[in-house]
Structure 1
Amino acid sequence: MKKKSFLLITMLMLALSMVLAACGGDTKEEGGESGEKSADLPKFISILTGGTGGTYYPLGGSFADIVTDETGIQATAQTTGASAENMTTLKAGDAEVAFSQTDIASYAKEGTAMFEGNAVENVQAIGTLYPETIQIVTTAKTGIKSVEDLKGKKVSIGAPGSGTALNAEQILEAYGIALTDIQKQDLDFAESTEGIQDGTIDAAFITAGTPAGAVESLSATADVVIVPLDQDKIDALMEKYPYYIQDEVTAGTYGLEEAVPTVAVSAMLVVTSDLSEDAVYEITKAIFENLDKVTHAKAKVIDPAKAKEGAGIDIHPGAQKYFDEKGY
């Protein structure tokens, strides 16, 4: 009798557990969005940024935290050589999301400039973020006050293959200066400002949102000078290279007494085309709706309503779905 009672209780418990499991499954299906979220989202993604002294790295770290918290995708920000390297890494399938300059993303997609014969076809845009100001950085003690003064000096044009290096070459060209006219150094932003501080180099090109961390660090110990671009050269650059816009490093940045005229490109986020529509939708929504959690000053100028402007490459369907929902 005891055996029969025990067997009956066991069978009832098993039946109850099966009913509860079925109900739980139905509840998840009826939950709609939460059920769909878990279906198509990857477990992990990498966000390619840039050097630690630039703007991509701190923003990328904040974006990774936001994506992890808001979507459940474990996002990790990685330091890199920035735009050109990032595009190559996406082509190889070794990451999913990356920061890039708009000009470099266009070159990559078209297979031009440094991507000649090596087009990156598997990328689409989430959207543009903010102006990336081209800053020619030096200090008062070098005596460098103009682009012409760079001739014969030790000048870092940025990490090898970076967008900054191409910007530097184009600006120098506008002034009739070849790379052979300077003592070219290929350093990332942090290495560049450390070199200026140590006196091992004289100046550096830095393409980054202002204030750039590496330049801020330099300004704590030295009188930073940002070399201005002449208006006729700015006009010539914008006419020859449509992705350039007129910009300035505002007074007060790095302790500057006056605003310094220059040009800028735009920073953008790109993704691999094979990342699902659901995943890119959730990533896009998470970032653009939680910018208040980003402490870097550049977050204040990021406007999702303008994110499609100047992207230069196709918008990923997942990002487009978000923009359509918001009416952008």
Structure 2
Amino acid sequence: MLILMLVVSLVSLSFFSACTPEEEKPQEEEVKKVFFGIATGGTGGTYFPVGGAIAQVVSNFADYDNVDVVATAQTSGASVANCNLIGKHEIESAFAQNNVVYWAYTGTEIFKDKEPIKNLRAIASLYPETIQIVALKKSGIKTVEDLKGKKVAVGDVGSGTEVDARTILNLHGITYDDIDEQYMSFSEATDALKDERIDAAFVTAGYPTSSIVALATTKDIVLVNITPNMVQKLVEEVPYYAAATIPAGTYKGQEEDVTTVTCLAQWVCDADLDEDLVYNITKALWEHRDFVEKVHAKGKDITLETAIDGVAIPLHPGAEKYYKEKGLIH
């Protein structure tokens, strides 16, 4: 009888052991890759190298929870084209001049015949974009008025540079009827100057601009001053411009300071982006901006203190959350 009870007990124990589920092992959550594009400009400008540096920062430091953020800088037609890309939800983010961003959002000025791009949101103001008028020394061009009758690159179609060129020429009483305008990217314009196919070019970019640096090593160039009186007039009539100086020695052969005007480069994005994503991207930028400074001289002008300067459209909620934490917004 004792043996029988022992056998029954063992069988029962085996039965209940078999019925007891094994201790479940915690499963690792699957890592989700999120691809994040940054539309910049042409390879010869400032947007592209700065965008490339920021993309590296985002890819290395913006991961959160189980999200792996993979950012890439993409060449594009610059400001106007970039705002249109975001309007069509064809890119996650982009660089653009602050004036162009405002016009796109409000449907004014060059966007007046189009639907306002209401899904534009700001991440940050980055650095001043200086309007540079570069001419071959042999062209004899010394003033803006000297551009009359000359072949002048005015920027890509749909670029902020083209807007600036038209604005500055008009303020000097010059229209495209007075010049032989050429629509070119920065790289195309400096190549054309190098080959002497054009006489001058407008370049709106942070200085030193790589394409101008390269040009100055092979050609004698001049940077055309906008006179102080005209600078004052521009600043009064076009409120998004500020007076600026390109210091002597910025480019080879530039022996004197050059007076001009500047606007701001801004990083904007699609309003539909996840708040946590944009928060962590914004945080990555400002906690690792020193890397951007190592890559390009304009990095020193990208500061948290000026992150919301000149922002005239709504901030993305993710960026706004970060700036509130840092006390920039109360």
Matches within 5 A, 1:68-79: 68-70=59-61, 71=63, 72-79=68-75
Q: Which amino acid aligns with 2:117?
A: V
Structure 1 residue 312 corresponds to structure 2 residue 312: yes
2:289 aligned with 1:282 = no
1:223 Cα deviation after fit: 2.0
Q: Give 3-state SS (helix, strand or coil) of 1:270's partner.
A: strand
Return the alpha-carbon distance in structure 1 between the equivalents of residues 116 and 42 of structure 2: 24
Partner of 1:267: 265
The whole-number CA distance in structure 1 between the counterparts of 2:136 and 2:19 is 81
1:28 corresponds to: none
User: Aligned residues, how many?
Assistant: 306
Which amino acid in the other structure matches residue 206 of structure 2?
A: G
Q: Structure 1 residues 12 and 131, CA, compared in 2 at 3 Å: closer, same or farther?
A: farther
Structure 1 residues 292 and 43, CA gap change in structure 2 (3 angstroms): same
Structure 1 contact 124–271 (Cα < 8 Å) conserved: yes
Distance 1:312 1:158 in 2: 24
Residue by residue, what CA displacement relative to the aligned partner does 1:81-113 show, whole Å, maximum 9, x if unpaired?
000000000010011110010000000001012
> After the TM superposition, which parts of structure 1 deviate over 2 Å for at least 4 consecutive aligned residues?
10-14
Write out per-residue CA displacement over residues 260-317 of structure 1, whole angstroms, 9 at most, x where no aligned residue: 0000110010011111111111111111211111210000111112111111211111
Gaps of 5+ in 1: 26-34
Measured in 2, the distance between the counterparts of 1:290 and 1:282 equals: 12
Equivalent residue runs for 1:44-63 within 5 Å? 44-63=35-54
Check conservation: 1:42, 1:279, Cα contact below 8 A. no
Provide the secondary structure at the position in 2 that maps to 1:199.
Answer: coil
The structure where helix makes up a greater share of residues is 1
Q: CA deviation at 1:159?
A: 0.1
Answer yes or no: is 1:139 the counterpart of 2:139. Answer: no
Match of 1:191 in 2: 188
Deviation at 1:12, TM superposition (A): 10
User: What displacement does 1:224 show?
Assistant: 2.3
Deviations 1:153-183 (A, max 9, x none): 0001000011110100110011101111000
User: Deviation at 1:139?
Assistant: 2.1
The amino acid across from 2:221 in the alignment is V
Aligned residue for 2:172? 175
For 1:56, the aligned partner's letter is Y
Kindly indicate whether the alpha-carbon contact (under 8 Å) linking 1:224 and 1:254 is maintained by their aligned counterparts in 2: no
Q: Does residue 10 of structure 2 align to residue 15 of structure 1?
A: no
**SS of 1:275's equivalent?**
coil
Q: Secondary structure at the match of 1:269?
A: strand
Over 3 Å counting, the alpha-carbon distance change for 1:266 and 1:13 in structure 2 is farther
Partners of 1:199 and 1:282 in 2: how far apart?
47
Structure 2 portions without partners, runs of 5+ = 1-10
How far apart in 2 are the matches of 1:206 and 1:200?
A: 17
Q: Percent identity?
A: 44
In the alignment, what sits opposite 1:246?
243
> Partners in 1 of 2:283 and 2:89 — Cα distance?
23
Aligned to 1:149: 146
Alpha carbons of 1:149 and 1:287: their partners in 2 closer, same or farther (altered >3 Å)? same
Which whole-Å CA distance do the structure 1 matches of 2:107 and 2:216 have between them? 38
- Structure-2 change in CA distance of 1:186 and 1:21 (3 Å): same
Aligned to 2:120: 123
Distance change >3 Å, CA 170–CA 42, structure 1 → 2: farther
In 2: Cα distance, 1:224 partner to 1:170 partner:
23
